[in-house]
Amino acid sequence: MPPGLKDVARQAGVSIKTVSNVVNGYLHVAPDTRARVQKAIAELGYRPNVAARQLRGGRSGVIALALPELRSAYFAELAGSIVKAAEERHWTVLIDQTDGSAERERGLVSRLRRHLIDGLIFSPLGMAGPELAADASDTPMVLLGERVWHGPADHVAIDNTAAAAEATRHLCELGRRRIAAIGAQDAPTAVTARQRLAGFEAALAEAGRRADPGLVAHVEEFHRADGAAAMARLLDSGDPPDAVFCFNDLLAIGAIRTLLDRGYAVPGDVAVIGFDDIEEGRFSSPTLSTVSPDVDRIARTAVDLLAERLDLPRGEDAPAPREVRIEHRVVVRESTLGRLAARRV
């Protein structure tokens, strides 16, 4: 007969309830106790009967993740981190993309609810708070990103405006005078772009400068080709910048490609900083200075918040929606400091 909870509890010297808490991924277990239980599980070869546990709890063990775009490196890395955090709770994650379209978002949410999911982690671009309210009341939900604040569900995000200001401030502190921005967008749903532009402008104002409209490059998408094309327009303007803040790392990598192709040195002639700290930027040449939003912490916080909703005792009132701000940091590398200086950071 395979080992059960009672066998693990006896081996670890704890109660069956403690073993159950560890197996179910509850947070409030002392680290040394959790380690003893995990060691006993490994020694005995205990395998939890996930299906039976889920049926007893009236849950499927499946959550959904809806993101605007899966080919974007940031969202791909975020999805991977969410899957990893969910696996620790023995959850399966259904992943789909919405393309940032309100129509696709509505259709996707409707389809997911028919799949009997336990909860949804969702980064909306098209749908607004009032539309999401009904869905949040039917299915536990955690929102990501900048589109909906103080809405109907728990929300996890970083302070985009403050982060963009810090990135721009770094360029100012390097003594750069003509600082450009790549990533402005005019669409009503382009909340991220507007927040990062606001941070860019705020940092320049703090330094006693005014943002030059001729140094603010608009883009259709946040992809490498858009960054390359925007950089080319800035260089062709007749008075090129000596530094660029790009609203994500893909734009920055595209911008650097254009600079190198045109014979400019990075950062000697033009310093470049991005946003997102994707893996590609850590291995590019030059390595990319960027804003790191701590994707792993965003993912784990979202999963933890969803778990707290799902674990509420029947009949207990759910807490009011929570806003969680995740800390960020500016990571300086070769694209703003140069190779030798970056090695000393």
Residues 6 or more apart whose Cβ sits within 8 Å of residue 266: 256, 259, 260, 272, 286, 335
Beta strand segments in the chain, E: 62-67, 92-97, 119-122, 141-144, 154-157, 179-184, 216-218, 243-246, 271-273, 290-292, 323-325, 329-331
pLDDT of residue 187: 86
For the segment 190-212, the average pLDDT, to the nearest whole number, is: 94
- Tokens matching residue 154: 């728990």
CA distance 236 to 256: 15
Residue 331 binned pLDDT confidence (cut-offs 50, 70, 90): very high
Sign for the pseudo-dihedral over CA of 77, 79, 83, 85? positive
pLDDT of residue 342: 61
Q: What is the pLDDT of residues 82-103, one digit of tens each?
A: 999 999 999 999 998 888 888 8
CA distances from 343 to 300, 313, 328 (A): 31, 52, 21
Burial of 317 (0-12, 13-18, 19+ CB in 10 A): exposed
Provide the CATH topology of domain 5-48: 434 Repressor (Amino-terminal Domain) (1.10.260)
Which CATH number among 2.40.50.100, 3.40.50.2300, 1.20.1270.10, 3.90.1150.10 corresponds to the domain 60-157+294-311?
3.40.50.2300
Give, for 24, the enclosing helix (H) or strand (E): none
Pairing of strands 154-157, 216-218: unpaired
DSSP string for 241-296:
-SEEEESSHHHHHHHHHHHHHTT--TTTT-EEE-SS--HHHHHSSSPPBEEE--HH
CA distance 152 to 258: 43
pLDDT of residue 56: 47
Q: Mean pLDDT lowest for which of 14-23, 28-37, 106-115, 286-295? A: 106-115
For the segment 206-211, the average pLDDT, to the nearest whole number, is: 92
Q: What is the pLDDT of residues 258-267, one digit of tens each?
A: 999 999 999 9
Residue bearing the bigger pLDDT, 306 or 20: 306
Provide the CATH topology of domain 160-292+330-344: Rossmann fold (3.40.50)
CA distances from 270 to 164, 276, 343 (A): 18, 20, 19
Q: Residue 108: left (phi > 0), alpha (psi -120 to 50), or beta?
A: alpha
Q: What is the pLDDT of residues 227-253, one digit of tens each?
A: 999 999 999 988 899 999 999 999 999
> Nearest-CA neighbor of 36 among 11, 17, 6?
11
Q: What is the pLDDT of residues 27-68, one digit of tens each?
A: 678 888 988 988 888 888 887 654 454 444 557 789 999 999
Pairing of strands 329-331, 290-292: antiparallel
pLDDT of residue 305: 95
DSSP string for 115-158:
TT-SEEEE--SS--HHHHHHHHHHS-EEEESSS-SS-SSEEEE-
CA distance 290 to 54: 42
pLDDT at 136 over 60: no
CATH topology identical between 5-48 and 60-157+294-311 = no
CA distance 289 to 20: 44
Q: What is the pLDDT of residues 142-192, one digit of tens each?
A: 999 886 666 678 999 999 999 999 999 999 999 999 999 999 999 888 889
**Most confident segment among 5-19, 144-158, 233-247, 327-341:** 233-247
pLDDT of residue 55: 47
Share of the chain above pLDDT 90, in %: 58
pLDDT at 2 over 50: yes
pLDDT of residue 57: 53
Q: Contact, 108 vs 95, CB < 8 A?
A: no
- Tokens matching residue 237: 């303007």
Domain boundaries, given as residue ranges, for the chain: 5-48, 60-157+294-311, 160-292+330-344
Q: Is 183 helix (H, G, I), strand (E, B) or coil?
A: strand
